[in-house]
Structure 1
Amino acid sequence: MLEAGPVDAKVLSVFDFDGTLTHHDSFVPFLKFAFGTGEFYGRMVKLAVPGLRFLLRQISRDELKAQLIRTFMTGVEKAWVQQKAEEYCQRNWARLMRPSGVLSVEQELGSGAEVTLCSASPALVLQPFANRLGIKLIGTELEVVDGVLTGRLTGNNCRCENKVLRLEAVYGDLGDYRLRAWGDTRGDRELLAAAQDAHFRHFHAKKRKRARLKR
Structure 2
Amino acid sequence: MPELSAQDAGPVVAAFDFDGTLTRRDTFTVFLARGLGWPRFVWALLRCSPWLVAYALRIVPNNIAKGKLMQATLAGRSLAEIDGWAAQWLAKDFPGQLREDAMAHLARHREAGHCCVMVSASPDIYLKQVARQLGFDALLCTEMEVTGEAEARRLTGRMRTPNCHGEQKVVRLRDWAAGRFGAAGLEGVTLYAYGDTSGDKPMLRLARYAWYRGEPWTG
Q: Distance in 2 between matches of 1:96 and 1:44?
A: 23
TM-score, scaled relative to structure 2: 0.86
User: Tell me, what secondary structure is at the counterpart of 2:95?
Assistant: helix
User: Tell me, what secondary structure is at the counterpart of 2:24?
Assistant: coil
Determine what percentage of the aligned residue pairs are the same residue: 30
* Structural mapping, 1:88-107, within 5 Å: 88-107=89-108
Q: Distance in 1 between matches of 2:168 and 2:81?
A: 28
What is the CA distance between 1:42 and its match in structure 2? 1.5
Q: Distance in 1 between matches of 2:114 and 2:213?
A: 21
Size of the aligned set, in residue pairs, is: 199
Match of 2:188 among 160, 167, 176: 176
Match of 1:164 among 160, 167, 170: 170
User: Tell me, what secondary structure is at the counterpart of 1:94?
Assistant: coil
Match of 1:139 among 141, 151, 168: 141
User: Tell me, what secondary structure is at the counterpart of 1:97?
Assistant: coil
What is the CA distance between 1:7 and its match in structure 2? 6.2
Task: Point out 4+ residue stretches in structure 1 off by more than 6 angstroms.
Answer: none
Q: Deviations 1:27-54 (Å, cap 9, x if unpaired)?
A: 0011000111111112111011112222
Alignment match, 2:57: 56
Alignment match, 1:206: none
User: Tell me, what secondary structure is at the counterpart of 1:40?
Assistant: helix
Q: CA contact under 8 A between 1:75 and 1:150: conserved in structure 2?
A: yes
Match of 2:205 among 193, 196, 205: 193
Q: CA contact under 8 A between 1:85 and 1:124: conserved in structure 2?
A: yes
Q: Give the unaligned 5+ runs of structure 2.
A: 1-6, 179-184
TM-score, scaled relative to structure 1: 0.87
User: Tell me, what secondary structure is at the counterpart of 1:20?
Assistant: coil
Q: Distance in 1 between matches of 2:56 and 2:194?
A: 27
What is the Cα-based RMSD across aligned positions, in Å? 1.7
Q: Give the unaligned 5+ runs of structure 1.
A: 1-5, 204-215
Q: Distance in 1 between matches of 2:100 and 2:21?
A: 11
Q: Distance in 1 between matches of 2:41 and 2:57?
A: 24
Q: Distance in 2 between matches of 1:100 and 1:87?
A: 26
User: Tell me, what secondary structure is at the counterpart of 1:131?
Assistant: helix
Alignment match, 1:155: 161
Aligned partner letter, 1:156: P
Aligned partner letter, 2:50: V
Bigger shift: residues 55-64 or 113-122? 55-64
Q: CA contact under 8 A between 2:145 and 2:156: conserved in structure 1?
A: yes
Alignment match, 1:70: 71
Alignment match, 2:44: 43
What is the CA distance between 1:66 and its match in structure 2? 0.9
| Corresponding position: 1:29 with 2:41 | no
Alignment match, 2:120: 119
